[in-house]
Structure 1
Amino acid sequence: MKQGLGTQLRHLIELLDGAVEQSYLDAGLAYRPRYTPVMRTLLAHEPLTIGEIAVRAGITQPAATQTVALMIKEGLLVASAGKLDGRRKMVTLSDAGRAMLPRLKACWKATAAAAASLDAQLPYPLSEALSDAIDALKEESFGERIRKAGAAQAPK
């Protein structure tokens, strides 16, 4: 029996994230793959608010809020009151977060090489397929596609 799209995607994420997380452990890093979009965004643009992190990292606001909270708890980030508006929390890398960057960048480089190897083995690169799927869903959401399919299958 062929697995459904959601099941396949969850399994793919388990395979990818599990290997990436193991590479961090092997490098002696207490670091989760979900931290990478936040870390890369702050490396390029710090300090930022959580909302700015979400937009620049291409993740949802709730995901950014949860991830930043975990990273602060683990000592990788710090949040402080904004200079112009003390109600806005500005997020930056902590000293501990900066200290892990050389090993972290080495892991990112190895991960990118592994992804390129996987793309080269496939008849259609996974990275392109994912990008194309995201673009198609921006044009018409999966929810809208479900509603249309349901309407087409409704008894007449």
Structure 2
Amino acid sequence: MKQGLGTQLRHLIELLDSAVATSYAEAGLDYRPRFTPVIRALAAKEPRTIGDIATAAGITQPAATQTVALMLKKDLLNSVSSAADGRQRLIGLSDRGRALLPQLHRCWAATTAAAASLDADLPYPLSEVLAQAIAALEQQPFGARIRDARERTHNKEPT
């Protein structure tokens, strides 16, 4: 039985994330792959609101909120009230988070080299295929494609 697209993607992510998580552990870091987009966003500019982090990291706001909460517990980030709007929290790297950056940059360089190696082993570079798939889904979301397919199937006369 052929696996569906979602099952294949989840399996691919599992294979990639587990290897990256292992590489962090081997480097002596208590760090999760899901922290990387947040750390990169804050390394580029801080402090940021959760919404700004989500936009910069290319993740949803709920995912950013959950990830930031985990990272605050691990003392990788700090949170302060905004001077302009006390209801808003500004998130920045903690001293501990900032101190990890050199090790993280080395890990990220190794991960980037491994991704290039994977791309070289494939008939089409995975990174390019993923970028094209994302662009295509931004033009026509998968939900719209499902509705169109359902309509075509529903309107098709039985033979």
Q: TM-score range by the shorter chain?
A: over 0.9
TM-score, length-scaled by structure 1: 0.97
Number of corresponding residues? 156
Partner of 2:84: 84
> In the TM superposition, what whole-angstrom CA distance separates every residue of 1:47-91 from its partner, at most 9, and x where no partner exists?
000000011111111111111011001110010011222211000
Q: Does 1:154 find its partner at 2:151? A: no
- Measure, in 2, the Cα distance between the counterparts of 1:97 and 1:68: 12
Q: Which 5+ residue runs of structure 2 have no aligned equivalent?
A: none
Partner of 2:34: 34
Whichever residue aligns with residue 55 of structure 1, its letter is T
Cα deviation for residue 121 of structure 1 reads 1.2
Whichever residue aligns with residue 111 of structure 1, its letter is T
- Measure, in 2, the Cα distance between the counterparts of 1:75 and 1:118: 33
Whichever residue aligns with residue 47 of structure 2, its letter is P
Instruction: Report the 3-state secondary structure (helix = DSSP H, G, I; strand = E; otherwise coil) of the residue aligned with 2:92.
Output: strand
Moved more, 79-88 or 132-141: 79-88
Q: Does 1:8 find its partner at 2:8? A: yes
Instruction: Report the 3-state secondary structure (helix = DSSP H, G, I; strand = E; otherwise coil) of the residue aligned with 1:91.
Output: strand
Whichever residue aligns with residue 33 of structure 1, its letter is P
> RMSD between aligned alpha carbons?
0.9
Whichever residue aligns with residue 63 of structure 2, its letter is A
Consecutive aligned runs of 4 or more in structure 1 exceeding 2 Å deviation: none
Identity %: 65
Q: Does 1:74 find its partner at 2:61? A: no
Q: Which 5+ residue runs of structure 1 have no aligned equivalent?
A: none
Whichever residue aligns with residue 61 of structure 2, its letter is Q
